[in-house]
Amino acid sequence: MKEIKAHAGFPIAPVYGPEDVAGVEFDRDIGRPGEYPYTRGIHKHMYRERLWTMRQYVGFGTPVETNARFKYLMAHGQDALNVAFDLPTQLGLDSDDPKAEGEVGRAGMAVDTLADMEDAFAGIPLDRVSVSLTINGMAAPITAMYYAVAEKQGVAADRVVTTPQNDILKEFIARGTWIYPVDPSLRLVADLIEFSARHYPRSNPVSVCGYHIREAGCTTAQEMAYGLAIAAAYVELMLARGMAVDEFAPRISFNFTAWGKIFEEVAKFRAGRRLYARMLRERFRAVNPKSWMFRSLIGGGGSAFAMQEPENNIVRGAYIALAASLAGAQTMALPTYDEAYTIPSPKAQLIALRTMQICAEESGAADTVDPLAGSYYVEALTSAMEKRIEEELASVERMGGIVEAVRTGAIQAEVARQAYLYEQKIVSGEIPRVAVNCHVGDVPVEADRDVELYAFDPTAHAAQLARLERTRAQRDGGATRTALRRVAQAARGSENLMDPIMEAVKAYATLGEIAQAMRDVFGEHKEAVKF
């Protein structure tokens, strides 16, 4: 009989029965939905009361172009937004910086000043739409711009619902859009959490992102373990500032993938929810039940999809949506079938949105809470996943904790190792990919491609530069310079940087100017390379 293993590494038995769940106690390990330890979901009635929000990842070209795509998707039923920023924006570079050449608006929306954020959200009521900002190193100024736009719209602070990703540790581990060294980068994370907790109570000022670490190559268990370790590091960071855990923990959120085997993904989230609940209640002594809740966006990563026969990715996306719903997502996002080729076309994004809507309205997956509960297989798999996650957490502790593992490059080396092992399994066929390494036809990839390629418009760069030049000319230069000096002064001290950053943003300082004011004080990160 063929041996089958979970991506996490443990074996999958051919048959499961009562003996496989003999050690599971209902009240301790499973419980009721909406009750500690939240294995079955963080809300009592889950989707019977409120469906998951649908939040496609959108952003390209200029803010005006992105605004049009936002409105296109909202007109077709999307009820939340997830903003993609171009690489210069993520790295704190203005669009006219020589390092930004060729990348402005190419793989996300270009943002230089508050004027761009005003354009991006023109006609979108920020008191009624929740918005995720996929930004990390520059989370503080970009979120400040968002808060300023909401203020200009007349939205009360307690009505603003936004989720800046703001997870710099996973950037060091997986994506590389870091700017400053580890310690000042963590300070900025904490400054935004503290500021938002005290002024924007419905904001989720950090979204711990196992998603990108999984995309970089780690296993399912490592994805959850590293996410939990990162969350613990941020909790410890805020406690060291003197904040009470229940003052900020209810607004911590998560972003994870679900592109592997359906039941393994479900088990990962069921195990992760109860591990997180226990960590917050027992280790950090949180007393507010909302602090124990693992609130997550669950979506597929682009790694789930293939170039070969791209329409097959529509089917893969449907299974991802099913896995996310069965896993208890609060928010869902799907990659588009053309993801392996291009910036998503309107047609591809609409298909992804319709896939989530069909899952919600037609499949029955939302009819009852945790429909897989009590399955011998799922409960045994959840326990096995929990054990493996705990083993990975112990491994992180042996590295000195997640922050030290990032500093030394140990965690980055482990993710790279796992990526290599995974790719070997794809090449060998051990992990099957239809039309990639099994059931492969003899038609060249190019002949199978029926996708609309995104044609990058070079005039978008020119338009963005003109907008930037116009904003610089129209702003009060004296006020801008004063605000930037205050940012630098605050960076040299220990005060929360968000107040001076807010002042600089409202004075229409550019993102690059704000980033440079801090770079002059903090310096730049030099990555530790470990093999």
**447, pLDDT greater than 60:** no
pTM metric for this prediction: 0.96
According to DSSP, the residues that pair with 84 across neighbouring strands are 134
Using a 10 angstrom Cβ sphere, with 0-12 exposed, 13-18 middle and 19 or more buried, the burial of residue 453 is: exposed
The two counts, helices (H) then strands (E), for the chain are: 20, 9
Report d(CA 147, CA 142) in Å as an integer: 9
- Main-chain phi, psi angles of 85, to 5 degrees: -110, 145
Measured distance CA(29)–CA(221) in Å, rounded: 18
**Would you state the pLDDT for residue 516?**
98
| CA distances (Å), origin 223, targets 4, 160, 188, 390, 498 | 20, 30, 24, 12, 30
What's the one-letter identity of residue 75?
A
pLDDT grade for 458, boundaries at 50, 70 and 90: confident
In whole angstroms, what separates CA 209 from the centre of its chain?
A: 5
Whole-number percent of the chain with pLDDT over 90: 90
The DSSP call for residue 438 is: B
As a whole number, the mean pLDDT across the chain is: 95
Decide if 324 contacts 304 (C-beta within 8 A). Answer: no
CATH code for the part of the protein at 18-448: 3.20.20.240
Q: pLDDT band for position 475 (50/70/90)?
A: very high
Across 77-83, average pLDDT: 94
Q: How far apart are CA 129 and CA 81, in angstroms?
A: 7
Determine the average pLDDT of the residues in 469-479: 97
Distance CA(112)–CA(513), nearest Å, equals 9
- Listed in order, strand segments (DSSP E) in 368-514 are none
pLDDT digit string (tens) for 390-400?
999 999 999 99
The C-alpha R_g of the chain, in whole angstroms, comes to: 23
| DSSP 8-state assignment for residue 128 | T
Check pLDDT > 70 for residue 61.
yes
Query: Would you say how long the chain is, in residues?
Result: 531
What is the per-residue pLDDT across 271-286, written as a single tens digit (0 to 9) for each?
A: 999 999 999 999 999 9
pLDDT digits 0-9 by tens, 314-346: 999 999 999 999 999 999 999 999 988 888 999
Average pLDDT of span 360-389: 97
Instruction: Look at residue 26 and tell me whether its pLDDT is greater than 70.
Output: yes
pLDDT in tens, 118-146: 999 999 999 999 999 999 999 999 999 99
Q: Which of 153-162, 256-265, 296-305 has the lowest mean pLDDT?
A: 296-305
